[in-house]
Structure 1
Amino acid sequence: MTHQPDPSHVHDDQSEHVPRPPSFWRSRAGIYLIVALVLGGLLLGYEHRVHLLSSGLLIWLPLLLCVGMHFFMHGGHGGHGSGGDKT
């Protein structure tokens, strides 16, 4: 007796994987923009280091970094409570 696969469990790989355009941030222009923004931020911080270090606002930097990382890193998996389900 031969075993026939259940048609409800057979997946057509071509219908599930619709090609998406590449992300802007992974393109050449996106990488150049990221590098330019980082360099600009470093130069701005270097030029204004006296104001940044003497203002007392530097103590808030770790808190802002945590909130920023939490906000931006939850964009890829759907936020809290999804459990990783892609249905």
Structure 2
Amino acid sequence: MKKLFQTEPLMEISNCEQLKFIGKYKFLEASERHCAFTYEQFYINVKAEKVHIDVLKVEELIIHVEDLQSIEMKKQGDHHET
């Protein structure tokens, strides 16, 4: 049987212009040139000339960037938030 909905965490980067995250995340901060959030067990900081949040749903985050400068990912401890 084919799955109709994404059930596992997913991180997808398309042409260094769109970043898509499906799974548990917590948005921390955003500005015109960066955004920071936790995703599953990772801290992620995205920097670009322009950052635009396209989708901000319960378990889906889509970010569009122009002139991507960096993506920083750091694995957090093994503690789980409830």
Coarse TM-score class (shorter-chain normalised): under 0.3
Q: Which has the higher contact order (CA 8 A, sep 6+)?
A: 2
Higher strand share: 2
TM-score normalized by the length of structure 1? 0.20
Higher helix share: 1
